[in-house]
Chain A
């Protein structure tokens, strides 16, 4: 009934796979996916566990709507302790893999221990086994996908796994499924690599039962009409993708540029959605070839792109002439504005390599940006970089760096540490644009004040997907707020955080919330699950999840001191644009936020708050 009721527990040390019943009490309190898996992790594991030790667990979890006919109902998340941050990690992905896991009859997979040799987990309906992966260890995500499908003679199998970055312990390596959909952040790929687990291949032939089919069908149909009729989800996102934000955020003066020294990038247009659609090169074809949907999605914001065959990156590499996953906004920002590179083909190529080898382009690009600043100020020399000329704006440096990082070769091994460890190592910690060790994404907190509080308080380190106040502050969804003021942002961030935690636990994509409110989502969850899943219950579940994650991090050793931003954002005013003269108002917002959350001044949930949320 939404849930399959089955969990697959895999002990990689012993080489065993065993089914067990889903904890229904927890499922009723945490719904599924992000929330439910976080509950399992918090209950089963010491938060102080070394993320790359066999004692760290990792959970691949679906939501109750994953695999159903609800629009965008194909999401899954990977929950573990993140090696980049030391905080709880939860990375969410689309594509088809999550739905396939549900079709095979599983709500989630709990992986523990460490295999002695490289293996992959193969699931065919209720049969699960660990198989030898020695032939594909050292191979890319793309080669692994093809090898597994060929070996099992099943093109309908879906594969989620790591490339060489995860094997090599790159601390921001990600997990890729269906060739270019990513559980991207916090280094979940390195955890998988540390367990000698190359991939999880799934084939399912069942379906997903729901509690009240007529009610579910009515709710999902009505919700699809809302998506289709909304100008953003019905037209804007499928046509232009998330990349349409490049010029928006640049005009608004909130595009972190050249390691956040500036808030506007003169090359923004060259790497934008508009540029992706323009004819380029001798053949006159645009970078963007088509859009693509994930399982069950009626929005279809995904980008399918090609690198111009004449471009230096692929001129002699026909293996990269095919169409593949194109630039999304966050990737284009990190690979472009953060490094000062405005070469669209170079960014597309770098993005291909990130997908091929399992690298988070946000953390990678931001780390290169920090390295470029250290190279230009003389902290890093050619001797340190192995001759790599890390100058802002150098496309060649960017594309060489991405190849080296996946392989962990030369200076790539240092880039693979992430910007915090890299900047610490070279004595310039202030140049790392991170929170809790994770690089922040494509919005400057001086120009969008709510995002400063979002980054500072995100439970997985700096992240835009924990409370996307850009939606309100810039785009006016659901209602417009002023991006340049701090007033009201504590409540706004809390509201976004709680609602997003609920959406992330349902199996739905957070992009639906450009059109849907929880009023549209609650009837869909309610139709799928037993019990009464009202808007109020979703908000309660979301708040419970947020506090559970917070408790995990506090027990892991984080304190209120870690709810902070890089000094650059707090001391150095924006130089141009609407935010000129402003710094982040985090110091004012943070105490307001703690109060709104029912936490102490030290950022600790009070007993009353914990009791209210049954924690």
Chain B
């Protein structure tokens, strides 16, 4: 299935070649979990603080049990803040 992966701030370094604007389209196994997608890109899980799937917050501790669906957008940040 196809998903969109977005890695921001320091996690941008883990995007594969061909990425643009911190984004890449990926073809992943049907029903792949957030954790599996991040592992495929060697993203250190300890740095994944803010995880949004289609803009909705997903607790990092739930990443392994959360299956993605066709067309989902997974966006991940290390600890960040602003204002």
Contacts and interface: CB of A to CB of B under 8 A. Distances in A.
A251 B56 CA distance: 9
Interface in B1-36: 6, 8-10, 12, 21-23
A231 B80 CA distance: 8
A1 interface: no
A487 to B, nearest CB: 16
Nearest to A441: B83
B65 interface: no
B10 to A, nearest CB: 7
Given A269-B21, A578-B55, A476 B50 contact: yes
B68 to A, nearest CB: 15
Contacts of B49: 231, 476
Contacts of A236: 9, 78-81
Interface string B32-67: 000000000000000001101011110100000000
Given A251-B55, A269-B21, A245 B9 contact: no
A269 B22 contact: yes
B81 A239 contact: no
B50 A248 contact: yes
A248 B8 CA distance: 9
A548 to B, nearest CB: 24
Contact of B9 (A244, A464, A465): A244
A24 interface: no
Given A237-B82, A274-B8, A465-B83, A244 B77 contact: yes
A239 B79 CA distance: 11
B50 A475 contact: yes
Instruction: Kindly name the residue among A236, A273, A477 whose own CB sees the greatest number of chain B CB atoms within 10 A.
Output: A236
Contacts of B78: 231, 235-236
A470 interface: yes
Contact of B82 (A235, A243, A253): A243
A587 interface: no
Given A241-B82, A274-B22, A247 B57 contact: no
Nearest to B23: A269
A329 B23 CA distance: 21
Instruction: Kindly name the residue among B56, B57, B73, B82 whose own CB sees the greatest number of chain A CB atoms within 10 A.
Output: B82
B9 A274 contact: yes
B9 A239 contact: yes
B54 to A, nearest CB: 7
Nearest to A480: B57
A252 B23 CA distance: 16
A282 B80 CA distance: 31
A510 B83 CA distance: 10
A232 interface: yes
A236 B9 CA distance: 8
A251 B73 CA distance: 9
B79 A235 contact: yes
A577 B82 contact: no
Interface in A69-99: none
A558 interface: no
Interface residues of B, number: 25
B83 A330 contact: yes
A534 interface: no
Nearest to A577: B55
Contacts of A301: 82
A117 to B, nearest CB: 40
Given A475-B50, A476-B50, A251 B79 contact: no
B83 A247 contact: no
Contacts of B9: 236, 239-240, 244, 273-274
Contacts of B79: 230-232, 235-236
Instruction: Kindly name the residue among A230, A239, A251 whose own CB sees the greatest number of chain B CB atoms within 10 A.
Output: A251
Contacts of B50: 248, 474-476
B83 A578 contact: no
Contacts of A269: 21-23
A511 B83 contact: yes
Instruction: Kindly name the residue among B6, B9, B75, B77 whose own CB sees the greatest number of chain A CB atoms within 10 A.
Output: B9
Contacts of A577: 55
A146 to B, nearest CB: 31
B74 to A, nearest CB: 10
Contact of B6 (A240, A251, A464, A476): A251
Given A236-B9, A269-B22, A248 B80 contact: yes
Given A247-B22, A248-B8, A274-B8, A578 B80 contact: no
Contacts of A516: none
A514 interface: yes
Contacts of A274: 8-9, 12, 22
Nearest to A263: B55
B55 A475 contact: no
Contact of B80 (A240, A328, A465, A483): A240
Contacts of B23: 269
Interface in A432-486: 464-465, 468, 470-471, 474-477, 480, 482-483
A204 B9 CA distance: 40
A480 B59 contact: yes
A242 interface: yes
Contacts of A475: 50, 80-81
A274 B54 CA distance: 20
9 contacts: A236-B80, A237-B81, A239-B10, A244-B80, A248-B82, A252-B55, A269-B22, A475-B50, A510-B83
| 6 closest cross-chain pairs (CB), A and B | A242-B82, A231-B79, A245-B82, A578-B55, A236-B80, A244-B80
Given A237-B82, A248-B8, A251-B6, 9 more contacts: A235-B10, A236-B79, A241-B82, A248-B82, A252-B52, A474-B57, A476-B49, A476-B50, A578-B56
